[in-house]
Amino acid sequence: MSKILGVLGGMGPLATVDFLQKLIEETPARRDQDHVPVIAYSVPQIPERPPAITGNGESPLPQMLAGVQALKRAGASAIAIACNTAYYWHDALAAQGGLPILHIADAACAALAPQASQRIGLIATDGTIAAGFYQSRLQSRGVQCLLSSAEDHSTLIVPAIACVKRNELAQAHALAVAAARHLLDQGAQAIILGCTEIPLAIEHQPSDVARHCVDATRALARECVQWYRGG
Amino acid sequence: MSKILGVLGGMGPLATVDFLQKLIEETPARRDQDHVPVIAYSVPQIPERPPAITGNGESPLPQMLAGVQALKRAGASAIAIACNTAYYWHDALAAQGGLPILHIADAACAALAPQASQRIGLIATDGTIAAGFYQSRLQSRGVQCLLSSAEDHSTLIVPAIACVKRNELAQAHALAVAAARHLLDQGAQAIILGCTEIPLAIEHQPSDVARHCVDATRALARECVQWYRGG
C-alpha cells in the first residue's frame, strides 16, 4: 500500500468535512483513483481546545493521541489536523504518535502573496493566539501580525465559531465578515483565517473581504496534495 | 469508548464527503460533542464496481474488505458504505469483516412516502441494477420498480456519474434531471437516487424533479444517526 493521509478531525465535524472537500477540490483528478487516499478520524467527543490552552480546561491531548494512533493502526502514513488550535499539541503528537504531521501554519504562510509583506491580520481562537505558532512564523518572515481587538474577539469571532458549530452559517457569515473588515480597516494587507470554522463562515456568501483572506484549511489541503503527489 | 461509525468510502471521494455532510445535517446537535463519532476510510485506489458485477472487471472485494478491517482496527463498531453499488458485496463484507453493515437500500426504502406505493423509479449504476437489491426490496413491498431505458442509462446516467467524479456538477445536473424527468413521465410516484453520485448532480441546482426524489445517501445518514443515538 502506498501513502495514505490520516486526517485528525472532529474539532469540529463540519470543519473536517470542509477540509476533505477542499482536498478534493485541490486535487487534479479525472477519475476516482487520482484522488488522495485518506482516512479521517472525526470523533468530536473530546475536550474543547481553547480552554485547555488558556489554562481552564481538561487537555484534549490523550484523545488526540488516541486519534493519531487509530489512524496509524488503520494505515495512515502522515497526519493533517483539521483544526488550527489543535496544532498547539503538534510537537507532542508528532513525538508520541509516531507519524509526521503536516503543519497548517506553514501551509497558510506559504499561501500568502509575496506583496503581503508588511502587516497580516489573523483570525483565530484565543487558544491559537496564545499558542503563538502563527505569530512566530510571520515574525520570522519580518511580517507584523495584526490581531482583532478583545471586543471584536468576544463579540464577533467567538460567536461566529459557535454559529458554525451549530450549522447557523448566515449568522456566522455576518459576524466573521465584520471581524475581517475591521482588520482590513486597520491596514492588514491580507488576513489568515486561522480557525477551521471561519472559512466556512466567510465563504457562506460572497463578500468584499473574501479576496483578502487566506484560508488555512485550503492551504493545508493543497500541502497534503503536494505531499501525496510529491514522491 | 462508545459506538463509532465506520464509513467505507472513496467510491468516489466526493460522494463520501457528501455522506459525511449529510450525517452532520441529519444530527440534532448544539455543539461538536453531540455529533456522531465517525472514522471514514476513503481510499479510491480500488477497482470500479459496476464492471466487476456485470462480469468484465477485477473484484473490489479484497480492497473493500481491507477497508472494513482498517476501520475495525481503528475502533469502528458498525459500517456504512458510501456507495450503493458496493452493497453488492454486503453479505461477504459483513461475514468476513466482522462488523455489522447498515444497508443503504433498507434506509432508502424506509424513506419512501407511504403514498408512493405503486410505482417507484430507480436511478442507479448497471452494477446496482444487476445486483437487484433495490428491486427485491421494492417487490417485497408490492411496489413496481421502474428502470430507465437502456438509452437513458448510457446517454444520461452513466455520463452524469462520470461528470460528478470529475467535479463537473452543472453538466451532471442537466443529465441527471433529464433521466429523472423521463421516469416521472412514465408514471413513477417517486425516484430512488440509488447511486451516491446522483444526489450530488440533482442537488447542484434547484429543479422540478427534486421533490420527487429520495436520496439514498441522506436516508443512510439518517439511519446511522438513529443507530448512534438508539441505545
Q: State mean pLDDT over B93-109.
A: 97
Quick one: CA torsion of A44, A50, A51, A55, rounded to 10 degrees?
A: 130
Per-residue pLDDT, A129: 96
Per-residue pLDDT, B56: 85
- Tell me how crowded residue B209 is: count the other CB atoms within 10 A of its CB: 17
CB contact under 8 A, B73 and A71: no
pTM of structure: 0.94
Length of chain A in residues, anyone? 231
Q: Name the minimum distance, in Å, from the CA of A112 to any CA of chain B.
A: 27
Q: Residue B137's pLDDT band (boundaries 50, 70, 90)?
A: very high
Q: Taking the CA atoms of chain B, what radius of gyration do you get in angstroms?
A: 17
Q: State mean pLDDT over B16-24.
A: 96
Rounded Cα distance, B220 and A71, in Å: 24
Residue whose C-alpha is closest to residue B45's, from A5, A231, A26, A130: A5
Model pLDDT for residues B64-89, shown as the tens digit of each residue: 999 999 999 999 999 999 999 999 99
* Residues of chain B neighbouring A39 (CB-CB closer than 8 A): 39-43, 70, 74
CB contact under 8 A, B70 and A39: yes
Residue whose C-alpha is closest to residue A198's, from A23, A15, A26: A15
Rounded Cα distance, B26 and B222, in Å: 6
Regions of chain A with pLDDT less than 70:
1, 231
- Percent of chain B residues topping a pLDDT of 90: 91
Rounded Cα distance, B179 and B154, in Å: 10
3-state secondary structure of B41: strand
* Beta strands B213-215; B190-193: pairing state: parallel
Q: State mean pLDDT over B146-158.
A: 97
Q: What is the largest CA-CA distance in chain A?
A: 51
- The backbone torsions φ and ψ at residue A203, rounded to the nearest 5 degrees and listed phi first, read -80, -5
Lateral strand order in the sheet of A144-147: A144-147, A119-123, A190-193, A213-215
Residue whose C-alpha is closest to residue B196's, from B67, B60, B50, B97: B50
DSSP letter at B153 equals I
Length of chain B in residues, anyone? 231
Best of B21, B36, B42 to mutate (most A CBs within 10 Å, chain A): B42
The end-to-end CA distance of chain A, in Å, is 14
Per-residue pLDDT, A1: 53
- Tell me how crowded residue A10 is: count the other CB atoms within 10 A of its CB: 27
CB contact under 8 A, A17 and B21: yes
* Beta strands B213-215; A119-123: pairing state: unpaired
Q: Which residue has the higher pLDDT, B77 or B2?
A: B77
- Which cell numbers in the block locate residue A102? 503536516
3-state secondary structure of A121: strand
CB contact under 8 A, B37 and A14: no
Per-residue pLDDT, A75: 97
Per-residue pLDDT, B155: 98
Q: What is the mean pLDDT of chain B?
A: 95
| CA closest to B37 among chain A residues | A43
A87 to A57, A79, A148, A223, B157: CA distances (angstroms): 17, 12, 20, 16, 44
Domains along chain B with CATH numbers: 5-103+219-229 (3.40.50.1860), 105-216 (3.40.50.1860)
Of A11, A17, A74, the CB nearest to B41: A74
DSSP letter at A101 equals B
Best of A26, A35, A85 to mutate (most B CBs within 10 Å, chain B): A35
One-letter identity of residue A149: S
**Long-range contacts, stretch A152-156, CB < 8 angstroms, 24+ apart:** A152/A178, A152/A179, A152/A182, A153/A126, A156/A182
Residues of B with CB under 8 A from a CB of A: 2, 4, 10-14, 16-17, 20-21, 24-25, 29-35, 37-46, 48, 70-71, 73-75, 165-167
CB contact under 8 A, B70 and A74: yes
3-state secondary structure of B147: strand
Of B20, B165, B166, the CB nearest to A20: B20
DSSP letter at B39 equals E
CB contact under 8 A, A37 and B16: no
Rounded Cα distance, B19 and B219, in Å: 10
DSSP letter at A149 equals P
Task: Enumerate the β-bridge partners of residue B40.
Answer: A40, B7
Per-residue pLDDT, A99: 97
CB A46 within 8 A of CB A10: yes
Q: Residue B154's pLDDT band (boundaries 50, 70, 90)?
A: very high
Q: Name the minimum distance, in Å, from the CA of B197 to any CA of chain A.
A: 12
Answer whether residue B1 shows pLDDT above 60. no
* Residues of chain B neighbouring A4 (CB-CB closer than 8 A): 43
CB A224 within 8 A of CB A5: yes
3-state secondary structure of B57: coil
Task: Enumerate the β-bridge partners of residue A79.
Answer: A6, A101
CB contact under 8 A, B40 and A39: yes
CB contact under 8 A, A44 and B33: yes
* Residues of chain A neighbouring B21 (CB-CB closer than 8 A): 14, 17, 21
CB B38 within 8 A of CB B4: yes
A23 to A20, A218, A231, B26, B210: CA distances (angstroms): 5, 7, 18, 23, 28
